Amino acid sequence: MRVAVITSGILPVPAVQGGAVENLIDYYLEYNELYQLHDITVYSVWHPDVKQHQALKSKVNHYQYINTHSKWFRLCAKIYGVLHRNSHYFYSLEYFFECVIKKVTRKKYDLIILENRPPVAIKLSQKCNTPIISHIHTNLINPDTKQKEDILKATYKFLVVSNYIKQQIDSIGIKTNVEIVYNGLDSQQFNKEKITPIPRDQFGFCENDFVAIYTGRIVPQKGIKELIQAFLLLKDYPDIKLLIVGGDNFGDSVQSNIFLEELHKMSDERSGKIIFTGFIPYTQMPSYLNIADVAIVPSRINEALGMVCIEATAMGLPVIATNDGGIAETLLGQKHIILNKDDDLPAHIAKAVLEIKVNYKKYQGNTLNKVFTKEIYAKSFFKAIKL
């Protein structure tokens, strides 16, 4: 088949700036390169780092870029925003999709794949008769979704990352073609035997310290404030430390904002016990996880799946996580503690940390579930997009 892949319009593909969705696109493109399954054209935002990327030499995967940082694009996007006020996304993102749709509809494709932008199917279906498969990575289609009926009508099939997301779509009450394709992880990258270790003393940790780690965006809905409150409750255990890895917005993270300043001020009560690294490139994440004894995922929102749980278990870590969305699906068969998201969440986290610390042998032995390997993911993805 000739396939067009429309990316989310935020980060580039190949994933030179990281991004969970972008990494997953890379995985199935690598699989397509290996097995020569389809002729795929990817429509992505431009970034200078993609220019020398090995992936651009592929004979079956092709890349079309739109420079969203150019003066011309920004001017046209502003004009477009004035003329089209009733939109799903910010005007510059809407204009990116407008540019992509013009390119896509000028060519003949057998299938169009939308990556995590289901409303774009409405406009696409008005411009062409090509079947559209929407690959959903977050909770975007549910009874509260704007124009949900139009989105379902315009979409041939939905690929979703968890049973939780499938249930959200099914709850709309309209018969829809939905298939679960679990996300995948690079088992060679997240492998304790193949990483470059980072010494604990780089962060002021001792070998005998019990180190918990949080990895992800530093935003309120991820439960970071409650996590720090939990470690303030653990002040009588000086050997328990916390490493917070991440920024507020992937590679574009800022050094400071009001929320970050609040967190740092809270952490001052346990100076040297709570460490912030700021944004870390995804390729380095396994080395940071290797420092820790336990991973904590204190999310207060309904996560679609929870790749951070999969990453942590792949590195052998037990996981403490909230009973949230699709997270529980990632922890089946793994050593973990699931917590309720109530007002006592900090106390629940603190208690769980002590439980694992005291009974650590009981919680050791996690490994990557084969269901979540990138090979199984890519194989399942291509099986699911067959027309």
Asked whether the beta carbons of 49 and 17 are under 8 A apart, the reply is yes
90-109 pLDDT, tens digit per residue, is 999 999 999 999 999 999 99
27-69 pLDDT, tens digit per residue, is 999 999 999 999 999 999 999 999 999 999 999 999 999 999 9
Tokens of 40: 């795929």
Tokens of 178: 């939905």
pLDDT score recorded for residue 253: 47
List strand residue ranges (DSSP E) for 85-195, in order.
Answer: 111-115, 132-136, 157-160, 178-180
225-270 pLDDT, tens digit per residue, is 999 999 999 999 999 999 999 987 554 445 568 999 999 999 998 9
- Measured CA to CA, the distance from residue 139 to residue 161 in angstroms comes to 10
Tokens 């084969």 locate to 370
pLDDT band with cut points at 50, 70 and 90 for residue 324: confident
pLDDT score recorded for residue 252: 47
pLDDT band with cut points at 50, 70 and 90 for residue 167: very high
- DSSP letter, residue 27: H
Average pLDDT over residues 296-322: 95
Domain 2-186+373-384 carries which CATH code? 3.40.50.2000
Tokens of 343: 């007002």
- Measured CA to CA, the distance from residue 81 to residue 147 in angstroms comes to 20
For CA atoms 225, 333, 160, 307, give the dihedral sign: positive
Considering only 212-216, 246-250, 327-331, which range has the smallest mean pLDDT? 246-250
For residues 371, 161, 168, 157, the Cα torsion angle rounded to the nearest 10 degrees is -110
Question: For the domain 200-367, what is the CATH superfamily, name and number?
Answer: Glycogen Phosphorylase B; (3.40.50.2000)
Domain with CATH 3.40.50.2000 in the chain: 2-186+373-384, 200-367
pLDDT score recorded for residue 256: 66
- Measured CA to CA, the distance from residue 186 to residue 323 in angstroms comes to 25
